[in-house]
Amino acid sequence: MDEKEIERLLDKFDRSSLKNFELAQDDFKLTFSKREGDEHAVVADSAQAAAVSTNGLGHGQKDQQSQAEQRDASVSQNVAEIKAPLVGVVYFAPSPDKPVFKKQGDHVEKGDVVCVIEAMKMINEVKSDVTGTIANILVEDGSMVEYDQPIFQVTKG
């Protein structure tokens, strides 16, 4: 994969709602990751041992690991995350003309449907596994989510 192809992929990734992207071919591995609240994408290429980001500063795999560790540490014991059970497009309402399942500040019971994920033209309900209050919505309606990606933060209780 040459530099122009990588730049083209990075540009498409930047314009997408994806938070992470990984491509592996033989001994070549390319990883893009967007930081929360940051407009820069992290690029890691293990085959060439080079790291480049959209702002030209170098970032490596350790930045991705520390970012994940910081996010995990910031989630207190009183806050649970509702995560995507599969890869697909998340929708917060059953259809465009219907109200959203849950919004920030709403109470949620264990087993309540909080959103749906469309994958391969099938709609899959995402149910809460905790009881509490929706504290944060971590993704945008209509955006692509990855497996195990946090969608909601719920304050337990």
> What does the alpha-carbon distance between residue 83 and residue 42 come to, in Å, rounded to a whole number?
23
Output the pLDDT for position 144.
Answer: 95
Output the pLDDT for position 38.
Answer: 43
pLDDT tens, residue order, the chain (157 aa): 677 788 787 778 777 777 777 777 777 777 777 765 544 444 444 444 333 333 444 444 444 455 455 555 545 678 999 999 999 999 999 988 999 999 999 999 999 999 999 998 899 999 999 999 999 999 999 999 999 999 999 998 7
Residue span(s) of the chain under CATH 2.40.50.100 come to 76-156
Q: Please tell me what DSSP assigns to residue 37.
A: T
User: In the beta sheet, which residues pair with residue 95?
Assistant: none
Output the pLDDT for position 69.
Answer: 54
Complete DSSP assignment for 61-72: HHHHHHHHHHHH
8 A C-beta contact, residue 1 and residue 24: no
**Which pTM does this prediction carry?**
0.53
Output the pLDDT for position 43.
Answer: 45
| DSSP strand pairing (50-53 vs 20-25) | unpaired
Output the pLDDT for position 157.
Answer: 76
Output the pLDDT for position 112.
Answer: 95
Output the pLDDT for position 29.
Answer: 79
> What does the alpha-carbon distance between residue 36 and residue 40 come to, in Å, rounded to a whole number?
10
Output the pLDDT for position 40.
Answer: 42
> Is CATH 2.60.40.730 what the domain over 76-156 is classified as, yes or no?
no
Output the pLDDT for position 4.
Answer: 79
